[in-house]
Amino acid sequence: MLACSGRSGSYIAAEVEREAERECLFALMDRVYGGYADYRERAAETGRRIPIMRLTLMAPSTARTAP
């Protein structure tokens, strides 16, 4: 369950794998937060690949509730 700005829902998370899509999303992230490019460069220097996760809203009938 994820809640943000008064909205909530259950989501499925999956890593974005296609390099072209990752580059497009990184460009968007760089516009939103200027320091992100530096973070990505520092991670690359250590061989780390920063994962990008896509959240897909689950249909209400498939969403599970926490026990």
Confidence of residue 61 (pLDDT cuts 50, 70, 90): low
How much is the pLDDT for 65? Answer: 57
Residue 67 has pLDDT above 60, yes or no: no
pLDDT in tens, 11-50: 999 999 999 999 999 999 999 998 989 999 999 999 999 9
Distance of CA 45 to the CA centre of its chain: 21
Ramachandran category for residue 33: left, alpha or beta (phi over 0 → left; psi -120 to 50 → alpha): beta
